[in-house]
A and B are shown apart, each in its own frame.
Chain A
């Protein structure tokens, strides 16, 4: 769009307007392959032209290093590096392109990613590219991009399907007789899901169908070492962020257990209720988010019930039960970053029999000092069998150092198993 057509908010933020919605291509960062593919599909089906950035080449890190302060967390460096790298690639018409980035809000510096992205654009003389905040807290409104309740529920359904596919594939893949069948099923359902299937009322039916499909895969259940992955939300999930951690663990003959994304989203909504109850912060928000929390929880229940009813798969723990686990560790008001949920996920894994855990975080991650590394000692005191390794991710950290430490964790896992 021409310069004179650009519109700004009162505080000087470049807006994504209705006009732009018609013409612009929106680039989305990639965090979880399945989930974000669904997001893209949803956005496209309601009139946006979006594209998922799947690039992984080393130039991304270099670009990130140039664009953001090196001490900023690694996820910011990667996401911003990936976006700037994309718009510099010449592949897009930069006068008709916008960027979308998730924004969680809250006291962690992650809520500043979007601002760092804008600074990076300015640094590269591309401040005419609008940045859209994807959040559920009502931050940064744009006339051209609105999250309505129905869109939100669609997105949550997409998260659920993503979580389901991830969980079923993780539980199947290490044991399948014909390699590749689980991934093929993920692909099949990825293609099959659309706005119709994403309707909340259809969820149960399709989830059942997915489970049935996975049930048909021929497996030989052997006693493999199970390794859980927890951590800062981006490095926990993104292969770009964690040096393909899931693949590495799979190559070491482990079953990988990754807690789903939905818990994190419920967590974001849920802590607003505690914020009001315990700290007296924002009553209105608490009411709205109580509604959302309940809605999401009931959607999660549908998903868990379907999995629990199957005979071959282990269902994840319900949010309300996860939250109970933190008693004696941290308060449910500990909400910055992944907050209490990170501690809870470690405990949930251990209680469900996954004793080996990789706790991932960007180097110097502030909340994880407390809820990640800070809680390991106590968790082990109460669960001596827990085998947790904390791994830092950062542009300079070498894969070999990380893998050596993970191998130590795996050696201990094997030793514990043989006992």
Chain B
């Protein structure tokens, strides 16, 4: 190569930053002056776009010799192919900041898919987002398309916000499930826009900074932080920065990585312009590192046979202009789309509609209703209208729709029409995936995609758009794929990066389309349904939802389960169609009962629609500690519809009765213990000092124990307050692992709460062994519960001072994390006496033992009361003919910030709620297929056995996202319940504050229970 330096030619330095979505090229002269810079999206054509940009710089590079380095997440593979030097992008940023800005404390850089943080003062540290993290450019893109606005509009909107919602920021999938219901409930887009930005700020603090404080001079880099002023504003406000002083948004901030690459190339190999281009253009395709799968269709004939077979499942269409008579209206107000059908008594379709709701379902529907009523005129009478879907309640009250039904029931009615023997339905919609088994026409088990696993329609759509295709076109390409790429079957975030990798490996669009289809299906089968054998699903399978109109997806499903299935031509309209059929049934039943034929739908008339207005306002409920953020929708007549509530209290509906709720009971009981003792403390003459205890994890159930223990010994015990979202946020910045469960994350906030209240001694013991209730093979706590005290100490600055070797330093905070085991009383007495002597100078052994005895009694008393509550609640239910739900989880699920009020949703549906720890343990060990070695889990299995044996008891399991142990318990609990022909219902909980999915599950469960009951009668 040309190593000979030409004295006449200056040396230039070129930096190329190829990120996940954009390419940036800069050319600098020897003095560091910018001669050329360009920034463009590469739409995954990585190498071509880079060459294009380099060509644009041709004039400027001229015949100068240049040094060049590549950087960026997509730069790595290009560097491998071209043999040009690679600089890791975070490192490049650091070089650029050092060179251009100097004294900087923190750098935050958000890219297309990566987020990075650099701490440059103190202990230097560079970090990137983990593999499960959002809060990046693509996340903003996705959210903008969800709101149906451009990035510029989103940015503008964000300035007009009045209120900020809590939106989960960990990954796009989570955020979507938070935003969607807000949209459906009519929340203001400006508020949502700002909330999306705020979510990114939280993600940066929690996920990236992970326990390090963001202070000093902070520099913001990368595309989104350059172009989005609203996002800048959110960072400035949240971190309390002064623009230009402590919050720096430098010029050319989107080019910093490229600058760094250029600087890093200085002194390295030089190239002529032609040589650089040669390296790029001459390079061959990288070898395939991602495996391929068999083609979906081996021949054109195979596809034809397939297409022909599926063309049979159709519905008749009639021209509405020529029809006269009765009709039934079905509406599916889905999460992203709105579907409407109008059918005749024979089931023929007169009218249908399928479109995005653009985040404004009410106004979309208003226009459609006007159109429909105009088409109907006087000759068609709508006898009944039914609505289903996420927006069901809102739409029902806005337009006086006759009946609202839960989605599962609507889908069943539609599927039944196409295949009366249907025993399994799989529905993949835009945002959610539902599948349910049917037994004798009753929904038997429901599986919904959980927050982390949605590989649904909108994912494919976003992907198609990113590649520059419409979704239909993109789907068609997959039919002709010869070698679909193997993209794995995890959450969409992971699929995203797999797709990117396969593109870099040179996979064709056809192969990606087919590969995606296969992945979506695998995700559905193995992750959502958790099945491995096709025979598990059923014999008469109906698939539906708009996503199944995508032939490769349908084919992939048939292939994977090795069975032919029914896909109605109206796959995308099934919810609405089923609602219409349901409405028709209702009408017939009502006509028969009332013995009249003139029943007409109460749907708003044309006149009423004409005057129809709708506005939405946000309010905070404040009637209980849940503090629900309510959306108050007001319709023309001043009628109000409130959403966002968990219980009926803010709606003003009078509650007839207090339905027993174990969650409520336990929380109140523990609070009562604290309050009672507070009073008795006042009477004490001399205090031994104040001790702080955290109100979270195992300390809930153990609170009576420790509280009594310390109070008896003469300490003033301060318990941290009940968790709230604010409390979580206060501690968020010290969480080192973003995949740990939410109950554990909350503990950081509880520490902050105690510190803020001036507590100087905090007692949070490590308890690896729980009480031995003799119901399992062992009696462990889970590793997180057992050892989290040690994690807190290592990550919360103010707690970790005791570690200094210098004994003379007295730490500000005494944070105590001794190991104790409570199951062995005698051992505890001895150990506690020794511990209290060493730590607090309490010399009288008997005093400690006495306190410990009282502590054991207090714990036993609490447990006994909980058992008795269970007995009474069940008696109440049986006396009053109510169903019983065991809302099973862990004792710490009583935290309202953890259970998000699911208990209240169940009581508002008229069921009695008990919990797994209300049920006395069967001492006879259950034979289980797994190792039953955790105390809390043994209760879970015990509860499942009880539900299995009792007709009127059903079980709903709450599972925290990230709970590794529940990966084991869920399978076992499900097996136990199914032995007793019981429906297994699981609700995943996390920081997400969205009860939509939970409500569908619970309502479906209750419908099914009722149906079972009717069957028995």
Contact = CB atoms under 8 A, between A and B. Distances in A.
A277 to B, nearest CB: 10
A46 interface: no
Interface string A104-119: 0011110110111011
B88 A396 contact: no
B246 interface: no
Contacts of B931: 111-112, 114-115
Given A335-B768, A363-B739, A396 B783 contact: no
Q: Name, among A66, A73, A281, A370, the residue most crowded by chain B CB atoms within 10 Å (CB to CB).
A: A370
B686 to A, nearest CB: 32
Given A367-B787, A408-B90, A333 B737 contact: no
Given A369-B744, A396-B495, A407 B76 contact: yes
Q: Name, among B77, B522, B791, B824, the residue most crowded by chain A CB atoms within 10 Å (CB to CB).
A: B791
A148 B73 CA distance: 53
Interface stretch (B217-225, B484-492, B751-759): B484-492
Interface stretch (B24-32, B126-134, B343-351, B387-395): B126-134
Contacts of B370: none
Interface stretch (B302-310, B456-464, B497-505): B497-505
B533 to A, nearest CB: 7
B768 A107 contact: yes
Interface stretch (A190-198, A204-212, A223-231, A374-382): A374-382
Interface string B357-377: 000000000000000000000
A179 interface: no
B766 A331 contact: yes
Nearest to B519: A396
Contact of A408 (B128, B530, B778): B128
Interface stretch (B144-152, B176-184, B962-970): B962-970
A288 B820 CA distance: 23
Contacts of A112: 930-931, 968
Given A369-B737, A370-B783, A403-B76, A378 B794 contact: yes
A157 to B, nearest CB: 30
Contacts of A279: 768-769, 819-821, 824, 827
A11 B769 CA distance: 24
Contacts of B827: 279-280
Contact of A404 (B76, B930, B964): B76
A69 B490 contact: no
Contacts of B800: 378, 381
Contacts of A397: 131, 494
A93 interface: no
A399 B289 contact: yes
Contact of B795 (A70, A72, A377, A411): A377
Q: Size band of the A side of the interface?
A: 35 or more
Contact of B490 (A123, A370, A395): A395
B933 interface: yes
B919 interface: no
B696 to A, nearest CB: 15
Contacts of B87: 411
A174 interface: no
Contacts of B132: 363, 392
Given A377-B211, A408-B90, A395 B489 contact: yes
B353 to A, nearest CB: 37
A366 B784 contact: yes
Contact of A401 (B131, B289, B769): B131
Contact of B737 (A330, A373, A381): A373
B967 A72 contact: yes
A363 B131 contact: yes
Interface string B181-218: 00000000000000000000000000000111000000
Q: Name, among A58, A111, A411, the residue most crowded by chain B CB atoms within 10 Å (CB to CB).
A: A411
Q: Size band of the B side of the interface?
A: 35 or more
10 contacts: A67-B532, A109-B967, A280-B828, A333-B819, A366-B783, A370-B791, A380-B125, A394-B490, A398-B494, A401-B131
A70 B737 contact: no
Contacts of A337: 783
Nearest to A399: B289
Contacts of B271: none
Contacts of B420: none
Q: Name, among A364, A392, A398, the residue most crowded by chain B CB atoms within 10 Å (CB to CB).
A: A398
B965 A366 contact: yes
A396 B769 contact: no
A123 B533 contact: yes
Given A392-B132, A396-B491, 13 more contacts: A12-B927, A65-B489, A72-B967, A73-B964, A107-B781, A115-B929, A116-B968, A334-B766, A371-B787, A374-B737, A378-B803, A398-B494, A408-B90
B488 A69 contact: no
A354 to B, nearest CB: 18
Closest 10 CB pairs of A and B: A396-B490, A396-B494, A280-B827, A71-B967, A107-B780, A411-B91, A374-B791, A328-B803, A378-B794, A279-B821
A75 B968 CA distance: 14
A377 B933 contact: no
B291 interface: yes
B91 A412 contact: yes
Given A112-B930, A392-B131, A70 B968 contact: no
Interface string A320-334: 000000001111011
Contacts of B790: 329-331, 334, 370, 374
Interface in B779-797: 780-784, 786-788, 790-791, 794-795
Interface string B916-943: 0000000000010111011000000000
A412 B510 CA distance: 40
Contacts of B291: 58
B230 interface: no
A180 interface: no
Contacts of A69: 530, 967-968, 970-971
A232 to B, nearest CB: 12
A411 B88 contact: yes
A370 B929 contact: no
A278 B930 CA distance: 28
A47 interface: no
Interface string B441-461: 000000000000100000000
B850 interface: no
B532 to A, nearest CB: 4
Interface string B490-534: 110011011011001000000000000000001000110010110
Contacts of B766: 331, 333-334
Q: Name, among B739, B782, B962, the residue most crowded by chain A CB atoms within 10 Å (CB to CB).
A: B739
A357 interface: no
A365 interface: yes
Contacts of B212: 377
Interface string A168-206: 000000000000000000000000000000000000000
Given A367-B787, A380-B123, A400 B495 contact: no
B621 interface: no
A116 B526 CA distance: 15
B504 A58 contact: no
B740 interface: yes
Nearest to B502: A398
B968 A377 contact: no
A407 B212 CA distance: 23
Q: Name, among B787, B828, B965, B966, the residue most crowded by chain A CB atoms within 10 Å (CB to CB).
A: B787
B464 to A, nearest CB: 21
A377 B488 contact: no
Interface in B642-674: none
A21 interface: no
Contacts of A278: 819, 831
A65 B212 CA distance: 37
Nearest to B533: A123
B80 to A, nearest CB: 10
B736 interface: yes
A384 interface: yes
